[in-house]
Structure 1
Amino acid sequence: MCQLTNLHFACGHTRKVLLEACLLATRLAGHALTRAPDFCLNGVHVVQTIEKEEDCGRGHDGLTCREVQAVQPLIDRYKTMTTDLAGFSARANTIAAFIKIGFTPDCDWDAVKEAGRDVEAFKARQAELLAQVIPEALAEFEASLKNAVQRLQKVFQWNEAHIVCKARGTEDTLAPAPFGLEKLADETVVKSSIDNADDDDDDDDDEQTSKIGNPNLWAVDLAFKTARAGPHRRLLWLEERAVEACLDGAGWQLPRDEKDRAELQDRIDCRWVDPSKK
């Protein structure tokens, strides 16, 4: 049976090293073993654990293991944020697909006429929505989303550098934070800003991003809250126009987000023109 030593490093990582190889493992390998085998016909056994005062020395992209550990929560948070923004893009793309094929919804014009409304005016409005209003809204949303992603990425990169410098004790070498975030470096000020900022119809943003759960993430948390608001507002306006154009009658579905879905359902319930039920 091969005997192993388990090394426990100060950084928290562990590594198994070979203490003594059994004769069978040496014979099968054809040479003297220097590394701990993952498998041995006679089995492997950890006979001792040694606590090491130094780090393990693992690295990734120029960072030490401790620096990687410090940065990982930021990376995980950033992935969650970009996934949220990608969801906005997917919602807009479903509307764009209907516009691209030139689809014209079949509406219940008889009901409009029976209500004493000007059918021709509503038909003209629908044509305008499909030919001009919605395509322009899509372009504005895409530009807003692109800008939000770029801003968030810039803050993420600065926040990552901030964490690495903090881990290295070289914070004095860090460039100023983008978009005036250096003025919000005090954690109390940042939390107050996030708690009391005008949500701009995004009251649920505090559910989308945590409130200073990790003080290292204050910059990207604050940037996400502000960057997300613009694309979200334009996306909702776009979806309201899709409701007005009766795209739901063609198979377009309301978003899964409960608040956004409820707001759009209210629009459906009070509109003058509905999809044909024939």
Structure 2
Amino acid sequence: MMDQEKHRAAAWFRELRDRIVAAFEDLEDSHHRGPLSDAAPGRFTVTETRRAAPEGEDAGGGLMSVMRGGRVFEKVGVNVSTVFGTLGSRAQEAMAARKGLPGMREDPRFWASGISLVAHMQNPHVPAVHMNTRMFWTPHGWWFGGGSDLNPAIEYAEDTEFFHREQQRWLDPHGTGLYPRFKAWANEYFYIPHRHRARGVGGIFMDDYCTRDWAADFALTRDIGCAFLPAFLPLVEKRRPQDWTAAEKEAQLVHRGLYAEYNLVYDRGTKFGLETGHDADAVLMSLPPMAKWI
């Protein structure tokens, strides 16, 4: 049943959540120069979430941590969850088809734990960002997944290069072929077919990742999480003092429309969360507070 491994993975996702929440509140406290620096620093509101289940059945849950209207963050959510139970018929069919697991229909038990983060920024010069990592288990196999990607409304080539360089720095110790592989995977996954364009400037992504060496795969997943703050915080600190114009804010709101379209139409995590009965507010936490469409 891999109980020890499940416990280690869930504990790590919670630890990473705590690190990120503390770092983001520190950014709010240290914003003393630039737009909105005279506003009150933002703080996270934390809510417990539960996966819907039959009466009296424990199906797990997590923590939804959301900050709105801060100095630096217009809206940011950092969620962790550990959920379990049995997959519904639609999820069973999707799992059987995508992972080649016909046995899911006979034994549809599952366990999943992970962290999911989306940050929409006040300043249009500061890029929005997404990060998630997760572990998924069934009686028929286990997998890791996740990554992080940058979504600037106003792109700076040096920021994109820095973000990618940090991802590579953390991945290379696990094999120099992983970064180009995961970079290409992100480009393919975070693509909006009906717009014929990428959601942002990419990053790294893996899904259904299992080499049959749990310890090695978990170490890789940990380092994908560890790479996030070193890759993102310097960009926030660099861009948050910049003034912005009404036209630049408008460009940010239109760009957020792309983000909303992708998450509602294509993102597999959104679909899985809703289909398995997890708290809808937590699943849809990724949506921006404001967006526009042309």
Normalising by structure 2, what TM-score? Answer: 0.28
Normalising by structure 1, what TM-score? Answer: 0.29
Structure with the higher helix share, 1 or 2: 1
* Greater C-alpha radius of gyration: 1
Structure with the higher strand share, 1 or 2: 2
